[in-house]
Structure 1
Amino acid sequence: MASRFRTTRSHGRRPSTAKREIKKRLLVVCGGRRTEKDYFEALRDHFRASTVTVRVKTDSRSPLHVVRTAADLFEKAPDDFDECWAVFDVDSFDVRQCITEADRKQVRLAISNPCFEYWLLLHFCDHVGHLPEYRAVKERLKPHLPAYDKTGIRIADYLAGVDRAIECARKRDGDQVPPGENPNTAVWRIVTQMVPAPVFLPSPRRGD
């Protein structure tokens, strides 16, 4: 998907200097009520990256509403953010209109197919088999997180696997056209900006 994402601003901002480190400012609007927001905020608070600030909002209606909310917030505060992201699941939605509108309104997309829990699963294994719905992904999570509750993310459960999840998701996502072939997630495109450079990890265990 070709998008004309904002890379520069022309609102009187003073030019940067070589000695001044400019933080990238991300606006992330999530479609889930709790899980995505809790994950991003906990990750942000844990790493406290010096090169990025992240503001997380939610809109638990349809993916199209998520895109429109993100675009509206971005347009209302053009000097507050450098990138605007809409995070939502495919589930049973037809997301083609969302993708078209996001491209038109300069909103970047981090779509998970079928759901955000697939991103969480990649913290533990490199699963590549088709996952028809949320319940199937949750069943795959159970061996790793028997007490998984989407309303109570514990970031400590995922920290050791963040680099692994980025590696697996990047390899799977590649240059696929959104929303990507199931299973797929583009959440790594946000997370990779929030965490330190990955350390060497052994190859992830392949899931079935």
Structure 2
Amino acid sequence: MARRTRAKDLTRKAGSRPELKTVVIFCEGEASEPDYINELKRLPEIRRSTSIKIEIAPENGVPLTLVKEAIERKSDKEVDECWCVFDVEWPDNHPNLDKAIRLAECNDINLAISNPCFEIWLILHFADQTAFMDNATARRRSCGLDGRTGKRIDATKYIPLRHEAFRRAKDLTKRHRSAGTSFPDDNPSSGMGKLIAALERGALGKGG
């Protein structure tokens, strides 16, 4: 009787092709955030090491909803990491932000939070921004910097400048820490750099 092929046997046969790390990223927005992440996926070093899947929040999705969906998805053994990308929103903050963050921390869900909104991360690719901003101001400045007229972005303008944005975001974090400013009053700020750093570390770990 032929011996049944086991999963380990299949793994050995496929050994010449390294297994990709699977990262699922849950996004609150359906335009600029996915545009940006999809372009990030195209970087050769990340493409060789990581399979990135993007999940868009249902209509009127809020951070707590995203985190709960990420927890459910992380139970899949094929998923290595889950990230939630969401905004704080000003002048009206999202509800249950603190609860969403605590729930994520307790369930090993990674967060990339932008305050007030994702546009602050886009701004940091081109310029410093230290003054407080509400959503409308951030969006106006972001559109002024890249010349777009709608929500979609040309992410090819951004990805080459991602490390500059990360440096500026880290400077903002230091500035808030020195001032004793804590979440959700750490406006402006963005944790998107942490997501990029994690993906690029994964690429290095895979020999990319």
TM range (shorter): 0.7 to 0.9
* Residue 53 (str. 1) matches residue 43 (str. 2): no
Counterparts of 1:26 and 1:190, CA distance in 2: 10
Q: Which amino acid aligns with 1:32?
A: G
* Residue 104 (str. 1) matches residue 106 (str. 2): yes
Shift of residue 193 of structure 1? Answer: 3.6
* Residue 86 (str. 1) matches residue 84 (str. 2): yes
- Flag structure 2 segments of 5+ consecutive residues without an equivalent: 1-6
- Contact between 1:111 and 1:178, CA under 8 Å: does it hold in 2? no
Counterparts of 1:108 and 1:194, CA distance in 2: 12
* Alignment match, 1:5: none
**Alignment counterpart, residue 119 of structure 2, candidates 111, 117, 120:** 117
* Alignment match, 1:185: 190
Secondary structure of residue in 2 paired with 1:127? coil
Counterparts of 1:142 and 1:33, CA distance in 2: 17
Cα deviation 1:68-122 (Å, max 9, x = unaligned)? 11111111x1x22221111110112141111111122221111111001111111
Q: Which amino acid aligns with 2:115?
A: N
Q: Between the two proteins, what is the percent identity of the paired residues?
A: 26
Give TM-score scaled by structure 2 length. Answer: 0.75
- Flag structure 1 segments of 5+ consecutive residues without an equivalent: 1-11, 198-208
Shift of residue 63 of structure 1? Answer: 1.0
Counterparts of 1:58 and 1:27, CA distance in 2: 11
Give TM-score scaled by structure 1 length. Answer: 0.75
Q: Which amino acid aligns with 1:113?
A: N
Secondary structure of residue in 1 paired with 2:146? coil
Higher-Rg structure is: 2
* Residue 36 (str. 1) matches residue 41 (str. 2): no
Counterparts of 1:98 and 1:165, CA distance in 2: 25
* Residue 141 (str. 1) matches residue 142 (str. 2): yes
Shift of residue 141 of structure 1? Answer: 1.7
Q: Which has the higher helix share?
A: 2
Counterparts of 2:119 and 2:113, CA distance in 1: 12
Secondary structure of residue in 2 paired with 1:192? helix
Counterparts of 1:192 and 1:125, CA distance in 2: 20
Q: Which amino acid aligns with 1:42?
A: E
Q: Which amino acid aligns with 1:140?
A: R
CA gap 1:59/1:24 in 2 versus in 1, 3 angstroms: same
CA gap 1:82/1:56 in 2 versus in 1, 3 angstroms: same
- Contact between 2:27 and 2:34, CA under 8 Å: does it hold in 1? yes
Secondary structure of residue in 1 paired with 2:187? coil
